[in-house]
Amino acid sequence: MDFDFSPEQQQLKDQARRFLADRCDRTAVRAVLDGPQSYDAKLWQGLADQGYLGAAIPEAYGGLGAGYLELCVIAEELGRAVAPVPFSSSIGIAAELLLNAGTEAQKQRWLPALANGKTIATLALAERPGRVTAASIETRAEHGRLSGRKLPVADGDIAHLAIVAARDAVGAVSLHLVDLTGAGVQREVLPSIDPTRSQARIDFTQAEAEPLGAPGAGLAIIDAVFDRAAVLMAFEQVGGADQALQAACDYAQERFAFGRPIGSLQAIKHMLADMYVSATLARSNAYYGAWALSTGSAELPEAAATARVSATQAYQHCARNNIQVHGGMGFTWEFDCHLHYRRANLLALALGSLSTWEDRLIDRLVRAQDARRAA
Amino acid sequence: MNFDDTPEEARFRAEARAWIQAHAPKHLLPELELAGFGQPALRSGDVIAASKAWQKTKADAGWACLHWPVEYGGRGASPIERVIWQQEEGPYAKLAGIFIIGQGMIAPTLMAYAAEPHKRRYLPPLASGEEVWCQLFSEPAAGSDLAGLRTRAERVGGDSGDEWVINGQKIWTSGAHYSDFGMILTRTDPAVAKHDGLTMFFLDMKSPGIEVRPIKQVNGQSGFNEVYFNDVRVPDHQRLGSVGQGWRVSLTTLMNERLSIGAGMPTGFPELLEFCRTFDTGDGLAIDNPAVRSKLATWAVRTSGLKYTAYRSISALSKGQTPGPENSIGKLVAGTTLQEIAAFALDLEGASGVLVDAAQPSASARFQAMLLRSPATRIEGGTDEILRNIIAERVLGLPADMRADRGMPFNQIPTRSR
Alpha-carbon dihedral angle through residues B15, B17, B19, B21, given to the nearest 10 degrees? -150
Alpha-carbon dihedral angle through residues A196, A112, A106, A298, given to the nearest 10 degrees? -70
Q: Do A4 and B315 touch (CB under 8 A)?
A: yes
Q: Which of these three, A115, A144, A168, is where a domain ends?
A: A115
Q: What is the mean pLDDT of residues B216-220?
A: 85
The answer to whether domain B134-257 has CATH 3.20.20.80 is no
Which residues partner with B285 through β-bridges? Answer: B280
Evaluate whether residue A1 is within a structural domain.
Answer: no
State the Cα–Cα distance between residues B151 and A206, nearest whole angstrom: 87
- Domain that residue A20 falls in: 7-115
Question: Which of A6, A290, A358 has the CB atom closest to B293's CB atom?
Answer: A358
What residues contact residue A34 under an 8 Å CB cut-off, 6+ apart?
A: none
Q: In this structure, what DSSP letter does residue A89 have?
A: I
Nearest to A92 by CA among A232, A219, A300, A198: A232
Farthest-apart Cα atoms in chain A, separation: 73
Evaluate whether residue A2 is within a structural domain.
Answer: no
**Terminal-residue alpha carbon distance, chain A:** 24
Position B67 pLDDT exceeds 70: yes
Structurally, chain A folds into a number of domains equal to: 3
State the Cα–Cα distance between residues A111 and B341, nearest whole angstrom: 47
Instruction: Judge whether A228 and A95 are in contact, CB under 8 Å.
Output: no
State the Cα–Cα distance between residues A184 and A164, nearest whole angstrom: 14
Q: What is the mean pLDDT of residues B228-252?
A: 95
Domain ranges of chain B: 7-131, 134-257, 261-382
Give me the pLDDT at residue B358, please: 66
Q: Do A252 and B398 touch (CB under 8 A)?
A: yes
| Angle in degrees, 0-180, between the axes of helices A7-23 and A68-80, rounded to the nearest 10 | 30
- Residues 278 through 337 of chain B touching chain A, CB cutoff 8 Å: 287, 290, 293-294, 296-298, 300-302, 304-309, 311-312, 314-316, 318-319, 326, 329, 332-333
Q: Is B20 exposed, middle or buried (0-12, 13-18, 19+ CB in 10 A)?
A: middle
Alpha-carbon dihedral angle through residues B198, B199, B200, B204, given to the nearest 10 degrees? -110
Q: Are residues A179 and A109 in the same domain?
A: no
One fold for both B134-257 and B261-382?
Answer: no
Give me the pLDDT at residue A37, please: 95
> Chain B residue closest to A356 (CA)?
B294
Q: Are residues A92 and A174 in the same domain?
A: no
Position B362 pLDDT exceeds 60: no
State the Cα–Cα distance between residues A238 and A229, nearest whole angstrom: 14
Question: Which of A252, A260, A282 has the CB atom closest to B402's CB atom?
Answer: A260
> Chain B residue closest to A367 (CA)?
B277
State the Cα–Cα distance between residues B382 and B90, nearest whole angstrom: 25
Alpha-carbon dihedral angle through residues B364, B368, B371, B376, given to the nearest 10 degrees? -70
Q: Are residues A52 and A161 in the same domain?
A: no
Q: Do A253 and B398 touch (CB under 8 A)?
A: yes
Q: Are residues A82 and A66 in the same domain?
A: yes
Label residue B34 by pLDDT band (50, 70, 90): confident
Label residue B364 by pLDDT band (50, 70, 90): low
Position B127 pLDDT exceeds 70: yes
> Chain A residue closest to B328 (CA)?
A277
Position B258 pLDDT exceeds 70: no
Residue type, B10: A
Q: In this structure, what DSSP letter does residue A352 have?
A: B
Q: Are residues A281 and A294 in the same domain?
A: yes
Q: Do B308 and A285 touch (CB under 8 A)?
A: yes
> Which chain B residues are within 8 Å of A283, Cβ to Cβ?
326
Q: Which of these three, A181, A215, A249, is where a domain ends?
A: A215
Instruction: Judge whether B239 and B202 are in contact, CB under 8 Å.
Output: no
What residues contact residue B25 under an 8 Å CB cut-off, 6+ apart?
A: B50, B53, B54, B92, B95
Position B361 pLDDT exceeds 60: no
Which of residues B261 and B308 earns the better pLDDT score?
B308
- Pairing relationship of beta strands A145-154 and A199-208 according to DSSP bridges: antiparallel
> Chain A residue closest to B4 (CA)?
A1
> Which chain B residues are within 8 Å of A282, Cβ to Cβ?
305
- Residues 21 through 60 of chain A touching chain B, CB cutoff 8 Å: none
Backbone phi and psi for residue A162, each to the nearest 5 degrees, phi listed first: -120, 140
Q: Are residues A133 and A203 in the same domain?
A: yes
Q: What count of Cα atoms within 13 Å lies in the side-chain half-sphere of residue A250?
A: 8
- Domain at B7-131, CATH homologous superfamily: Acyl-CoA dehydrogenase/oxidase, N-terminal domain (1.10.540.10)
> Chain A residue closest to B5 (CA)?
A1
Nearest to A283 by CA among B178, B306, B146, B193: B306
Which one from B9, B154, B257, B380 is the annotated catalytic residue? B257
What stretch of H or E contains A162?
strand A161-167
> Which chain B residues are within 8 Å of A272, Cβ to Cβ?
392, 396, 398
CATH code linked to domain B261-382: 1.20.140.10
**Ramachandran region, residue B157 (left: φ > 0; alpha: ψ -120 to 50; beta: rest):** left
Q: What is the mean pLDDT of residues B349-366?
A: 75
Question: Which of B293, B301, B392 has the CB atom closest to A310's CB atom?
Answer: B301
Give me the pLDDT at residue B257, please: 57
The CATH number for A161's domain is: 2.40.110.10
Position B322 pLDDT exceeds 60: yes
The CATH number for A109's domain is: 1.10.540.10
Nearest to A128 by CA among A137, A118, A119, A120: A137
Q: Do A4 and B1 touch (CB under 8 A)?
A: yes
Q: Is B27 exposed, middle or buried (0-12, 13-18, 19+ CB in 10 A)?
A: exposed
CB contacts < 8 A (A, B): 164
3-state SS record for chain B: CECCCCHHHHHHHHHHHHHHHHHCCHHHHHHHHHCECCECCCCCCCHHHHHHHHHHHHHHCCCCCCCCCHHHCCCCCCHHHHHHHHHHHHHHHHHHHHHHHHHHHHHHHHHHHCCHHHHHHHHHHHHHCCCCEEEECCECCECCCHHHCCCEEEEECCCCCCEEEEEEEEECCCCHHHCCEEEEEEECCCCCEHHHCEEEEEEECCCCCEEEEECCCCCCCCCCEEEEEEEEEEEHHHEECCCCCHHHHHHHHHHHHHHCCCCCCCCCHHHHHHHHHHCECCCCEHHHCHHHHHHHHHHHHHHHHHHHHHHHHHHHHHCCCCCCHHHHHHHHHHHHHHHHHHHHHHHHHHHHHHCCCCCCCCCCCHHHHHHHHHHHHCCCCCCHHHHHHHHHHHHCCCCCCCCCCCCCEHHHCCCCCC
Cα A348 → chain centroid: 9
- Residues 125 through 164 of chain B touching chain A, CB cutoff 8 Å: none
State the Cα–Cα distance between residues A148 and A143, nearest whole angstrom: 15
Give me the pLDDT at residue B418, please: 60
State the Cα–Cα distance between residues B34 and B22, nearest whole angstrom: 22
Q: What number is the ipTM of this complex?
A: 0.96
Give me the pLDDT at residue B315, please: 87
What residues contact residue A346 under an 8 Å CB cut-off, 6+ apart?
A: A192, A193, A194, A197
Give me the pLDDT at residue A114, please: 98
Q: Are residues A42 and A74 in the same domain?
A: yes
Q: Are residues A25 and A142 in the same domain?
A: no
For the four alpha carbons of A267, A313, B268 and B393, in that order, the dihedral sign comes to negative
- Cα→Cα distances A314→A238, A275, A276, A308, Å: 7, 7, 9, 10
Q: Are residues A210 and A312 in the same domain?
A: no
Q: Are residues A369 and A250 in the same domain?
A: yes
State the Cα–Cα distance between residues A348 and A233, nearest whole angstrom: 9
Q: Which of these three, A215, A230, A261, is where a domain ends?
A: A215
Instruction: Judge whether A278 and B388 are in contact, CB under 8 Å.
Output: no
Give me the pLDDT at residue B416, please: 78
pLDDT tens, N- to C-terminus, chain A (375 residues)? 889 999 999 999 999 999 999 999 999 999 999 999 999 999 999 999 999 999 999 999 999 999 999 999 999 999 999 999 999 999 999 999 999 999 999 999 999 999 999 999 999 999 999 999 999 999 999 999 999 999 999 999 999 999 999 999 899 999 999 999 999 999 999 999 999 999 999 999 999 999 999 999 999 999 999 999 999 999 999 999 999 999 999 999 999 999 999 999 999 999 999 999 999 999 999 999 999 999 999 999 999 999 999 999 999 999 999 999 999 999 999 999 999 999 999 999 999 999 999 999 999 999 998 988 888
The alpha carbon of residue A32 is apart from the nearest alpha carbon of chain B, in Å, by 32
Q: Are residues A229 and A358 in the same domain?
A: yes
Q: Which of A28-32, B38-42, B321-325, B379-383 has the highest mean pLDDT?
A: A28-32
C-alpha angle B48-B52-B56 in degrees, rounded to nearest 5: 175
Backbone phi and psi for residue A296, each to the nearest 5 degrees, phi listed first: 65, 30
Q: Are residues A49 and A106 in the same domain?
A: yes
For the four alpha carbons of B307, B370, B273 and B91, in that order, the dihedral sign comes to positive
